[in-house]
Amino acid sequence: MQAIVITRPGDAEVLELRDVPQPEPVADQIRVRVHATALNRADLLQRQGGYAAPLGAPQDIPGLEFAGEIDAIGPQVASLRPGQRVFGIVGGGAYAEYLITTERMALPIPDNLDWIEAAAVPEVFMTAHDALLQAAFVPGERVLVHAVGSGVGTAAVQLIRAMGGTSYGTARSATKLDRAASLGLDVGLPADTWPMDLDARGDNVDVALDFVGSSYLANNLKALAYRGRLVLIGLMGGAIAEVDLSVILRNRLHIVGTVLRSRPLEEKLAVTRAFARQVIPLLARGAVRPVVDRVFELHAAAEAHRYMERNANFGKIVLQVV
Ligand SMILES: NC(=O)c1ccc[n+]([C@@H]2O[C@H](COP(=O)([O-])OP(=O)(O)OC[C@H]3O[C@@H](n4cnc5c(N)ncnc54)[C@H](OP(=O)(O)O)[C@@H]3O)[C@@H](O)[C@H]2O)c1
């Protein structure tokens, strides 16, 4: 089969389309003929040599999510059959014509989504949904979402609306804020003035979902209401910060850090099940939808990586495999 291989750590040109052995499913595994996959920031870090794939996942083929058709099954697979349309997250290996996953990590694709749309769902909707669960979000709460035009941000805004919350979103471009408004963003805030804007409105938030990290930390803590929760999902703006801890004590704040890829299988299964229970019905009735920015063919993965590095995308960058 053909797959995109990270030939050595480095810039996008280290990604090459190569012939590699086709994997065989054993036990409770299924083999999926991948029709589409999508990019994640983690793919860029992995390509640069800074984020190794977890044990058991292909080490040199990136790709954390897939949409495709079951092509072969292991002898212990009970609930899935060849020919079914499935999507899900994997620890790696999705930039390929075929991948292996376990039966319990693959979910049937709602009929209203095509391959491209389905590939734009798993990682960002599971991450955003899981972050809201970890924040113990309840309907009626206000949630601040940074980098609201990111894949995870566009999923979060829609989930907050569908789950009965009010969303505040930041972005570094007015165009992304306008586009987020069309997804249901209640209050758009420019990234360079958001702390002042929030203050001027007299607003604070119950939950903040942050991908930026150090440069936003102090202002995130100030923005939180009494017993507010900050979920650290990404560190695109840096990992080292100095803050006034007294605000955490006084306002009884919670700070939660999260990663998805390196969690043990049982925890990923719990995330997958919660997504199946609460998010797939929303997708199936169109209450939330995948946001596809651009589609590249698999062989153009390097170009797709460069595009993500320019921070130009609003929503997901998808790789079409067949
Ligand atoms: N913890 C987990 O399990 C998990 C899972 C998935 C993703 N993530 C993280 O979630 C974040 C978003 O991922 P994604 O795939 O959705 O990203 P994405 O679609 O590539 O979007 C990222 C956006 O963030 C903004 N941005 C980039 N650098 C920034 C900075 N220094 N300060 C402020 N804004 C910045 C840019 O938009 P603007 O135009 O607004 O600047 C950029 O387009 C990443 O940090 C990723 O690692 C974490």
156-201 pLDDT, tens digit each: 999 999 999 999 999 999 999 999 999 999 999 999 999 999 999 9
Per-residue pLDDT of 11-58, as tens digits, reads 999 999 999 999 999 999 999 999 999 999 999 999 999 999 998 899
CA distance 197 to 119: 36
CATH classification code of 124-257? 3.40.50.720
Q: Where are the alpha helices (DSSP H) in the chain?
A: 41-47, 115-119, 122-134, 151-162, 174-181, 194-201, 214-223, 246-250, 265-278, 280-284, 301-309
Q: Report the amino acid identity of residue 237.
A: G
CA distance 167 to 176: 15
- Tell me what the mean pLDDT of segment 199-216 comes to: 97
The yes-or-no verdict on residue 271 having pLDDT over 90 is yes
Ligand 1 pocket member 117 (CB < 6 A)? no
Ligand 1 pocket member 44 (CB < 6 A)? no
Per-residue pLDDT of 129-142, as tens digits, reads 999 999 999 999 99
Average pLDDT of the chain is 97
Q: Which of 193, 186, 198, 133 is nearest to 157 (CA)?
A: 186
Q: Closest Cα to atom 15, ligand 1: which residue?
A: 40
CB within 8 A of 248, min separation 6: which ones? 221, 255
Q: Closest Cα to atom 1, ligand 1: which residue?
A: 259
Per-residue pLDDT of 275-321, as tens digits, reads 999 999 999 999 999 999 999 999 999 999 999 999 999 999 999 99
- The pick from 152, 168, 216, 310 for probing ligand 1's pocket by mutation, whose C-beta has the most ligand atoms within 8 angstroms, reads 152
Q: Where are the domains of the chain?
A: 2-121+265-320, 124-257
CATH classification code of 2-121+265-320? 3.90.180.10
Q: Report the amino acid identity of residue 207.
A: V
Per-residue pLDDT of 67-119, as tens digits, reads 999 999 999 999 999 999 999 999 999 999 999 999 999 999 999 999 999 99
Do 2-121+265-320 and 124-257 agree at the fold level?
no
Burial class (CB in 10 A: 0-12, 13-18, 19+), 218: middle
Task: Label residue 322 by pLDDT band (50, 70, 90).
Answer: confident
Ligand 1 pocket member 168 (CB < 6 A)? no
- Tell me what the mean pLDDT of segment 241-254 comes to: 96
Ligand 1 pocket member 233 (CB < 6 A)? yes
Phi/psi at 61 (5° precision): -115, 115
CA of 252 to the centre of ligand 1 (A): 27
- Tell me what the mean pLDDT of segment 214-239 comes to: 97
Closest approach atom of ligand 1 to CA 237: 31
| Prediction pTM value | 0.97
Q: Following DSSP, what letter does each residue of 78-134 receive, concatenated?
A: -S--TT-EEEEE-SS--SBSEEEEEGGG-EEPPTT--HHHHHTSHHHHHHHHHHHHH
Ligand 1 pocket member 311 (CB < 6 A)? yes
CA of 236 to the centre of ligand 1 (A): 6
pLDDT of residue 149: 98
Q: Closest Cα to atom 33, ligand 1: which residue?
A: 212
SS3 319: strand
The alpha carbon torsion through 178, 231, 102, 34 (nearest 10 deg) reads 20
Q: Closest Cα to atom 45, ligand 1: which residue?
A: 234
Ligand 1 pocket member 42 (CB < 6 A)? yes
- Tell me what the mean pLDDT of segment 218-222 comes to: 97
